[in-house]
Structure 1
Amino acid sequence: MSVQNRWSKLIFASALICSSFVLWAQEGPDVPDRPSGGMSAGGKWTESRSEDRMTAAKRVRFDLVADNTGEGDDQARIILFCTDGKLKLADFRPNIRLSRPDWPGFWGQPQMRVRVRADDAHSDHSWNWIHGHFLSMDKGTARELIGARLFRVEFRTPEGPRIAEFSPAGLDLNRVREACDLKPKKP
């Protein structure tokens, strides 16, 4: 066996051992902020809980998927984000491209005008437009949502107006009150 052949085998074996260590180390970090698997929160709602490892902040997320969208990840949804017992964010995510915002809000953030129907009442709102991906709902609309049987949002896309339909009935209101300090409101 030649010296060159021995060196090539030694280099190959070393590279194989090093790459196996690298692959073994790629398991990924322990992510404490990853929410626990979603569980039912009543009706068509799901609830996920997590805790921030640095601040010990308790985070709860309530998701409601639209009734009139297809299967998969691109379903329209409403998400309520709560931290330490307070509602931090209520998002409407149509998961399709939104049209341009209508005008700047009071602090200069772009806003889109939407029409909301909660049961038999409808109203117009200006929601904050976030990078063309989703709209940030106001707290009053979130309160109407959790107390409604039927909830619809009419919003604009480049192709024209669209309506997302939701069935929020059945949500365990005690869980929402405990996690978000949010009580239902009649429209």
Structure 2
Amino acid sequence: MASDRWVFGYGSLMWRPGFPFAERRKATLHGRRRAFCIYSVHHRGTYERPGLVLGLAPGGACRGAAYRVDDADWAGTYAYLMEREQPTETYVEARRNVRLDDGRRVEALCFLSDVRHPQWAGALGLERQAELIAGATGLSGRNVEYLRDLVVHLREMRVRDTAMERLLGLVETLESHSA
């Protein structure tokens, strides 16, 4: 339906959307890429010991999931997403065109990384990302679990992200040496 709304997920929204949806499709967003580029002081870290969470950084393309939300469910879904995605307002709410795996192009609600926000980590090397993720824990749990869930769900979607897989290996090595 023309009044249905879409939401694009590239991280935990892919495996734990937390809102009712009428349709889920694999989707690609062009012009942004998935990256651990946001210091997490809430969900996966603290102010004293920040972790890292994913953001949609400028450049490239990102494969994820798009959810069609019935108009009747939109108000509740939108309120839920604002609370979940914006606890420290590190993202910019935007509407972007995404390409669905069936060829359709739809406009979807996306949360883009705010490169001017103090929690913007930018383009960190994999070793620095691993140092920040290893041992970090926040209100939503251990940072490594977030990364592990990402890698598992990307594999399930048949998306091969060698950088994320390599990052997971580095984090697991660091955590095994500190145990």
Question: TM-score, normalised to structure 2's length?
Answer: 0.30
> Hey, which of these two has a bigger chunk of helix by percent?
2
Q: Which protein, 1 or 2, shows the higher relative CO under an 8 Å CA cutoff with sep ≥ 6?
A: 2
Rg larger in structure: 1
